[in-house]
Amino acid sequence: MFMRLADKEYLQLYHSFSDVLYWLLGVVMLALVALNDWPAVINLLMSFGA
């Protein structure tokens, strides 16, 4: 029972961390687009395998 609870909390923490990571990635991409730095945007996308 305790392990399941810990697993659930860990998953919740992991999801919130990945949400923050994607939010930061979005902000960085928006900043690069605003600066009209398309090669950097494309490199960023390629590095994430998109």
User: Angle CA(13)–CA(24)–CA(31) in degrees, nearest 5?
Assistant: 175
Closest residue by Cα to residue 48 from 16, 30, 21: 21
Q: What is the pLDDT of residues 11-46, one digit of tens each?
A: 788 778 888 888 998 898 888 888 888 888 888 888
Residue pair 32/44 in contact by the 8 Å Cβ criterion: yes
**Model pTM score:** 0.50
Q: Which two tokens stand for residue 15?
A: 């999801």
The reported pLDDT for the residue numbered 11 is 79
Q: How far apart are CA 39 and CA 41, in angstroms?
A: 5
